[in-house]
Amino acid sequence: MFAPQSPAAAYARIGVETGVTTADPHKLVLMLFDGALLSINSAAISMTAGDVPAKGRNITRAIEIVSMGLKASLDMEAGGELAERLGHLYDYICERLLLANAQNNEGALAEVSRLLGELKDAWEQIGGSAAEAAA
């Protein structure tokens, strides 16, 4: 049957779905960064609490977001060398996440969180510059 779901969880899910369907491509990438960072933070909390299944789920979710979301969104033809370098960085991030999961390595989670945070900040600045140029 269906698992019961709290009203708050249903509301949050609908909010995310609505955000995805109405977001421009720039905003979608920001949402991917937010999702990956949230999953990494949740994995760190689970790791500290000794909740191995939750840690694994959260790290797996972060890897999926990075590899099937952020990396898959790269346009290698239009992006050239920058897109290629970002692709390699995303591969490195996934490797570090796998290591963090296998070895309970909080340092690897912190490193990945910092890298993704810096990329998100840069992406936000690009969006602000593009919006100003369009206005």
pLDDT digits (tens, 9 = 90+) for 47-60: 999 999 999 999 99
Classified as helix, coil or strand, 105 is coil
Q: Give the integer Cα–Cα distance in Å for 47 and 55.
A: 6
pTM, to two decimals? 0.79
Q: In one letter, which amino acid is 24?
A: D
Q: What is the pLDDT of residue 104?
A: 96
One-letter amino acid for residue 125 of the chain? Q
| pLDDT at 6 > cutoff 70 | no
Distances (CA, A) of 37 to 6, 34, 43, 63, 67: 24, 5, 10, 11, 14
Q: Number of helices and strands (H, E) in the chain? A: 5, 0
pLDDT for residue 26: 87
CA 99 vs CA 56, 67, 93, 96, 112: distances in Å: 11, 16, 10, 5, 11
| pLDDT of 25 | 84
In CATH, what class is 24-134? mainly alpha
Cα(64)–Cα(45) distance, rounded to whole angstroms?
A: 19
pLDDT score, position 113? 98
- What pLDDT was estimated at residue 132? 54
What local confidence, expressed as pLDDT, does residue 96 receive?
98
- Residues 77-117 have pLDDT tens digits of 999 999 999 999 999 999 999 999 999 999 999 999 999 99
Q: Which helix (H) or strand (E) element contains residue 21?
A: helix 7-22
